[in-house]
Structure 1
């Protein structure tokens, strides 16, 4: 076969036959129930091992197995004990099931189905809860990861783990059925997906409840992405969930837990003034897996970013693979000269640097001293196929006091643990670019966030009736962005016979001005037997403690680890130090014969135009491949992927803008506007200089022909308007009228911001 990737060894049978997924979304919390159906069609007992991805922020809270009429519910136990119990069960001829999280990355899990008798079937039920991220267009994003791309294993790593089998996505041997139920206090306006869906079915006349199913026959060969839109969704809310009746009062699971959703609204005066300072560091993945459209899209995005930076700021561009490069030895002041030098180097960038070793360039960036009065903003672009995820996130957290980190996961299979972790620990914002998504609008939204003044001195104050106390479960808020959700979890202990309402006030300082947002909420808890809010709160606390454990040592480290294990066992939520274990002790019949190991392949996205030698896996748990990316060390010019089209008219016009914000009247601008030089020069009012005329024409063209892409060019247009105002140019109204006549538009001065 002329297709890259690994096949199951010698086309061995795959015991996983189908995956059924039921999704329930309430506002922005998703509960996911996956059922994996196994069948042993061989004449020997099997052990099936499946290594697969989950969302990086999934709180896995239930695991059970059903064989015939027997259901075995798994328990959460300390990881080493669970592994020993699993091995002991298999050696005694019993059936056992083990589910555990990777030591290296919290978005990869391993499922061992032990001792499946000949002809026997088993259904494995896995349940998790997760928060849905808010997208640039205000939709809520749910992603069911199918694709598990090989994670690059940094040289010198010596982790001991297990083998992973993967195949090209088109060869996945099991099917997927997927259904979703969405409910909210606000109407559901629409649900979109990258996979074919049946029509949305509303369950009530208020349209606050709806169901949707994936069209039958879908192969599980790509990540399933769902975008859910509510009417007026972005309102501050607080949900109080009642504790577990069987749990002891005073414990996290026994007390009510509140989930607070904040959507801070900053004063308009603050939002209209864009910061003219900052150090902008762009870190671009140039590993082999970024080849083709990914690297081209990244180059186009860097063009837009560089044109949109404010005068007076500083910047630098790093790129990395197995090694790393930087355009300037240290960040330089933004000017026409430095912008042109950077853009020339960006044009030459290919996906030709080998593997995905992101740690070393990050260390180098953090070793550079910060520039006084220029807050550092780091933008990371990667397809996220790294193995040492936790190490990378720890490094960002240790340096979070000196910068904000904005991350972009590019393509199917990008590690959500890495992309979300970078932004969360770096006080920034994460975006995912998959399928036919365009990178540019998402990146420009993050640049707008980066240009917002940093919010300082954030504090959360709870006003509760006498007799009720609060324990924060979330780490302190370190970043707030206009209109972007922040989540806070807290445990409520005690009872009050008085008021049934509580209040939370978030205070902060914005550009030196004190500000606050307030949320009032009912203290009457809602019952939910699945306890999704408690599970998410426990997961949030577990992740904070795991981070703390990696930063300390000795006895203190062991103490934190013990706390994590206790909390994980109490809440039933998995962690880095625990695993789910289920043993079938029911019928007492010992399984005879040696077990045959069958690895269930996970789908992988790769360019299928190159025959490729089979890479060597290290003996490791996470899907680690030595030098996988190096098979893709091709410049786009050498690649067998289709040639990329020339720049779009929008990018052609953008590329001609000067760093100051103006355009120059020359043949290149005329061509970008679809005119000849003579047609462009002739209508210019006599008293107006050429740059003013050229800049007004460019603004008219952008507003007249590219309104649908305004989020991409809005910042560079603001820069152009600022430049025009500084010129105190005469005859602006006359210029706009003449420009309209030339370009066939109908813009007013106000439309252009003039």
Structure 2
């Protein structure tokens, strides 16, 4: 049996798709896509920022429209207000508990009222929905953000992200309706995958969105020595009170915007205590800044584990930069240090000439590690949890040594919460430093993983690498100050409100800012102490930053949310209470705006999901592997999504979850190198997951792209023979092994999964007699016998294979959990 799947051909790409939305769609048969413009207006005063983001939506259809747009914001900024404008009417958004806000929005849409809702999916990833936009109408939504510039090594940085990059989605698809309108299927590891996977425009199309960005800089007494921007097409003007940086027309929303302000005098930032009283003068917010002392920290031996992401999304300049960064880190190690190197995609690789453990940082060992790093290329999926676990195991408690884990990656994964949950205890006492390499980096996740005791360094280009590596070298050493303590000394500090928590250690060139709440009078002081030898009493001075309370609330909420995902679910009420009290958006709240006028009787709308640009610098292969037709230059290999026509992608049916939807390193290279991580690179050698042989053992691979004008046919491939059972085979071990095998096949081809299920059926049939002789439980044997019968008949129908795959997973899992059913909680609470 076989199933025919037709790919998008060159004619379709040239003509451009004509359906409503989705992969590769720029213009529809009804007109342009709904998002018409993005306008960013920022004002920087000293080290504080105030930003207003305006999104303009226009309905070019002849029927009412509901538009969905997944977009990024600075992960540490506080979203404090939303406003919707349409048809001369202005509606202020109201911050509500998220479930209540969604119910308010859905009811308004059903009643035919114009409405919008802004929700946070991840730190830095948000969803905007605007409904009942009438034909020909334009609706604008304004978001207000308060932020603080990061300040290190005499330079302040303002970062505003402009695109959500495709993310790798691990796990098995879950039953039930998808929670979002994206291209990825919700899975047990990423239950909201469909909310963070917007469709991606094919490269080469004209700019779909009018992007404008303007930043006014008032140095507020800081001596500016220079200004740098990541988007080269900028205009710098004298705005009277300072500088105005304006983006020239034509730039695409495909990368982060970075503005770096060089401060000539580093003494412009000092150790100080600033307070901002509440309106009722019964308390307020404080910010304590601690500068690094001069001198060097005492050196002691370090155990350093370097974890390098080599997955498909790291292709191109990012892989080159990652290799250089990793090699530089290894070269900085001294004779008293030990280290290990782990490179990962869906597999973990280590230097073949070094033992798989910590080794002394001798010249020979460092040379072998750098030699290994120099030969790495991008491939496969981003299975990040396993290498971080192994790194944590290598860094077992050694009291007299500094334990450091350095992760070099773009961070483009969807299961951030799962990693934090799994690793929070394993990495306790380990200082985690993250190096983010991308022009649209997942900054929110990398900051969360580093936590308050590590550092996050971002590299947006090879030109920036040397400067970044200088900073990283200083950060992975011993901190200058540790065990910082804040003690009330006249100012009634609420010690439970300190953020970030725990208080960070102090590294060279990087001031530490601790915020919190106090009660009573703002007149007072605190004492700050640290090791070795810091003891200082700081008197309070009034802050000139009116957003200080919102910034504290955002920092406190981020800490609470991270604790929530590590298992402290009782914090939900506190998160909602803090969010609503201080008017700052969180993952458990949402801004909703409803125009009470009915504009669409009946509430029927066309739903359109806005595609986003491919991030700048993401590599698109221009040719297929040997034996396959050339890939059109304007069409990337989109993993699973490339197997569907544009019409299929735009009808709202999500593509199969081949890992990262939208392609670029989605499917693992397991089971003989199928998909090659969506890059068409060489398949891995040696054993592969799931017990199947590698290509060298005789399992043929397949080209990413069929010959022009032909259909690709699935099926007809030999199924690997079932393993011969051993006399002592355990039913429990069998179930665990088969669960691992099935889960490892998630995202693989239909024919391959069908063969896997047939092989499972045969293995069960062969082992039933063994289990009977070993007195394994009768009920379990009966359950597996029934499953074997149901899987025995061959099929290549994708829907039937998917059904059987889920059935097999559910059956096997029931034998390990006692059949306890899973409950589906609201996606923002999982």
Give the TM-score of the pair, scaled to structure 1.
Answer: 0.74
1:608 aligns with 2:655: no
Rate the CA distance shift 1:193–1:116 in 2: closer, same or farther, 3 A: same
> Residue in 1 aligned with 2:160?
144
The one of 29, 53, 67 aligned to 1:48? 67
> Residue in 1 aligned with 2:607?
597
> Residue in 1 aligned with 2:211?
176
Contact 1:332 1:338 survives alignment (8 Å) = yes
> Residue in 1 aligned with 2:566?
551
Give per-residue Cα distances to partners, 1:3-52, cap 9 Å, x unaligned: 99931277462121111111111222222101111221221110010011
> Residue in 1 aligned with 2:169?
153
- Give the drift of 1:110: 0.6
> Residue in 1 aligned with 2:578?
567
Name the Cα RMSD after superposition: 3.0
Give per-residue Cα distances to partners, 1:207-235, cap 9 Å, x unaligned: xx333222234333332111122332432
Rate the CA distance shift 1:333–1:583 in 2: closer, same or farther, 3 A: same
1:258 aligns with 2:267: no
Give per-residue Cα distances to partners, 1:494-548, cap 9 Å, x unaligned: 237xxx5x433321113xxx223554442x465x6xx421111111111222223
- Give the drift of 1:302: 2.9
Rate the CA distance shift 1:19–1:169 in 2: closer, same or farther, 3 A: farther
Contact 1:100 1:111 survives alignment (8 Å) = yes
1:203 aligns with 2:240: yes
> Residue in 2 aligned with 1:215?
248
Contact 2:236 2:243 survives alignment (8 Å) = no
Moved more, 376-385 or 587-596: 587-596
- Give the drift of 1:582: 1.2
Q: 1:77, 1:170 → 2: CA distance? A: 41
1:375 aligns with 2:402: yes
Q: 1:149, 1:469 → 2: CA distance? A: 39
Give per-residue Cα distances to partners, 1:591-619, cap 9 Å, x unaligned: 45731112112222232343425634569
Give the TM-score of the pair, scaled to structure 2.
Answer: 0.67
Rate the CA distance shift 1:515–1:613 in 2: closer, same or farther, 3 A: closer
> Residue in 1 aligned with 2:128?
111
What secondary structure does 1:213 align onto?
A: strand
The one of 316, 324, 328 aligned to 1:292? 316
Contact 2:54 2:142 survives alignment (8 Å) = yes
Q: 1:383, 1:569 → 2: CA distance? A: 33
Contact 1:147 1:169 survives alignment (8 Å) = no
Contact 1:377 1:404 survives alignment (8 Å) = yes
> Residue in 1 aligned with 2:781?
none
> Residue in 2 aligned with 1:404?
431
Contact 2:225 2:262 survives alignment (8 Å) = yes
> Residue in 1 aligned with 2:594?
583
Q: 1:256, 1:325 → 2: CA distance? A: 52
Rate the CA distance shift 1:331–1:239 in 2: closer, same or farther, 3 A: same
- Give the drift of 1:636: 13
Rate the CA distance shift 1:486–1:623 in 2: closer, same or farther, 3 A: farther
Q: Structure 2 regions of 5+ residues with no counterpart?
A: 1-9, 17-21, 173-186, 623-630, 632-636, 642-653, 668-676, 685-830
- Give the drift of 1:322: 1.4
Rate the CA distance shift 1:489–1:217 in 2: closer, same or farther, 3 A: same
What secondary structure does 1:182 align onto?
A: strand
Q: 1:188, 1:33 → 2: CA distance? A: 24
Contact 2:660 2:666 survives alignment (8 Å) = no
Q: 2:683, 2:74 → 1: CA distance? A: 31
The one of 24, 41, 48 aligned to 1:7? 24
Give per-residue Cα distances to partners, 1:388-428, cap 9 Å, x unaligned: 12232344543454211111110112101112122224x11
Give per-residue Cα distances to partners, 1:110-132, cap 9 Å, x unaligned: 10000101111111001112232
Q: 2:276, 2:505 → 1: CA distance? A: 26
Rate the CA distance shift 1:30–1:395 in 2: closer, same or farther, 3 A: farther
Rate the CA distance shift 1:492–1:402 in 2: closer, same or farther, 3 A: closer
Q: 2:660, 2:398 → 1: CA distance? A: 40
Q: 1:239, 1:438 → 2: CA distance? A: 33
Contact 1:56 1:415 survives alignment (8 Å) = no
Q: 2:326, 2:99 → 1: CA distance? A: 46
* Alignment of structure 1 residues 112-511 onto 2, 5 Å: 112-135=129-152, 137-156=153-172, 157-158=187-188, 159-160=191-192, 161-162=194-195, 164-168=198-202, 171=205, 172-183=207-218, 184-195=220-231, 196-204=233-241, 209-232=242-265, 233-243=268-278, 245=279, 255-266=283-294, 268=295, 270-271=296-297, 275-327=299-351, 328-352=355-379, 354-368=380-394, 369-425=396-452, 427-453=453-479, 455-464=481-490, 472-474=497-499, 475-495=501-521, 500=523, 502-510=524-532
Q: How many residue pairs are counted as aligned between the two chains?
A: 601
Q: 2:461, 2:63 → 1: CA distance? A: 41
1:628 aligns with 2:663: no
Contact 1:389 1:417 survives alignment (8 Å) = no
Rate the CA distance shift 1:398–1:58 in 2: closer, same or farther, 3 A: farther
- Give the drift of 1:342: 1.8
* Alignment of structure 1 residues 88-107 onto 2, 5 Å: 88-102=107-121, 105-107=122-124
Rate the CA distance shift 1:242–1:181 in 2: closer, same or farther, 3 A: farther
* Alignment of structure 1 residues 647-658 onto 2, 5 Å: none
Q: Structure 1 regions of 5+ residues with no counterpart?
A: 638-754
What secondary structure does 2:561 align onto?
A: helix
Contact 1:180 1:211 survives alignment (8 Å) = yes
Q: 1:618, 1:492 → 2: CA distance? A: 51
